[in-house]
């Protein structure tokens, strides 16, 4: 949009157009340009001002902000979109074919992959990345050189392992706490009869809970 400026004495007055006067399609095209340039400061300013629409919405050409961030290898923008509650597991093309994980695999974007795994904590081994329900590993191997594919597969598998270990730790803690509750019911005075819960058991629960929280 244009800025109308007039001089009054020695001061300049900037007249901003009303939001209702702005053309949504032009504004959104400008937003996409800022995304391509990774200009988060301007995006945040204009979003707070109310100029830009929902960051989950595509442009008239069907270009989603998440797709453009991946296409131009802008992991910082992808991280910003996630912070703005954009669902990075949803389709991000006008054909509703692929999610961000698909285009990350298609273009070999390792840093963008780290955003989904580390910042978003997605288990990409379990999430479909296309409308046919296929997983990201299929396309990583299909579209990338061996070295790039190996690194991306390693990251995905490591992320999956973290989720598996977290579930195991949670299950272990639940069992320990259940045993402790049963023991306290049977031994309200805190006895340590055989099969009961000892100080070592208490310490084990504390360690497991601490591991789960970290």
- Tens-place pLDDT, residues 177-188: 777 777 677 777
User: Is residue 79 classed as helix, strand or coil in its secondary structure?
Assistant: helix
Question: Is 111's pLDDT higher than 60?
Answer: yes
Summary mean pLDDT of the chain:
76
The residue among 16 and 54 whose pLDDT is bigger is 54
Specify the pLDDT at position 51: 64
Q: In whole angstroms, what is the distance from residue 12 CA to residue 41 CA? A: 24
Question: CA geometry: angle at 181 spanning 180 and 182, to 5°?
Answer: 90
pLDDT band for position 166 (cuts 50, 70, 90) = low
pLDDT range class, residue 55, cuts 50, 70, 90: confident
∠ at Cα 53 (47, 54), nearest 5°?
A: 95
| CA atoms of 56 and 181, how far apart (whole Å) | 46
The C-alpha atoms of residue 129 and residue 88 are separated, in whole angstroms, by: 10
Q: What pLDDT, on the 0 to 100 scale, is given for residue 190?
A: 58
CATH code, 28-165: 1.25.40.20
């Amino acid at each position: 949009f244009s800025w109308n400026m007039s001089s009054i004495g020695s001061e300049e007055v900037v007249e901003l157009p009303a939001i209702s006067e702005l053309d949504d399609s032009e504004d959104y095209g400008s937003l996409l340009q800022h995304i391509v340039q990774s200009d988060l400061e301007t995006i945040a300013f204009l979003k707070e001002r109310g100029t830009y629409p929902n960051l989950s919405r595509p442009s008239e050409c069907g270009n989603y902000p998440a797709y453009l961030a991946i296409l131009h290898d802008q992991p910082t923008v992808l991280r910003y979109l996630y912070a703005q509650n954009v669902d990075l597991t949803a389709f991000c093309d006008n054909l509703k074919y692929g999610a961000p994980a698909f285009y990350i695999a298609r273009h070999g974007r390792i840093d963008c992959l780290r955003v989904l795994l580390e910042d978003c904590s997605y288990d990409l081994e379990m999430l479909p990345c296309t409308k046919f329900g296929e997983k990201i590993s299929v396309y990583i191997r299909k579209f990338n050189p061996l070295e790039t594919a190996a690194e991306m597969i390693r990251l995905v598998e490591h992320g999956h392992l973290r989720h598996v270990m977290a579930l195991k730790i949670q299950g272990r803690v639940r069992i320990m706490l259940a045993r402790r509750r049963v023991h306290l019911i049977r031994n309200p005075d805190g006895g340590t009869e055989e099969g009961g819960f000892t100080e070592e058991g208490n310490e084990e629960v504390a360690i497991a809970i601490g591991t789960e929280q970290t």
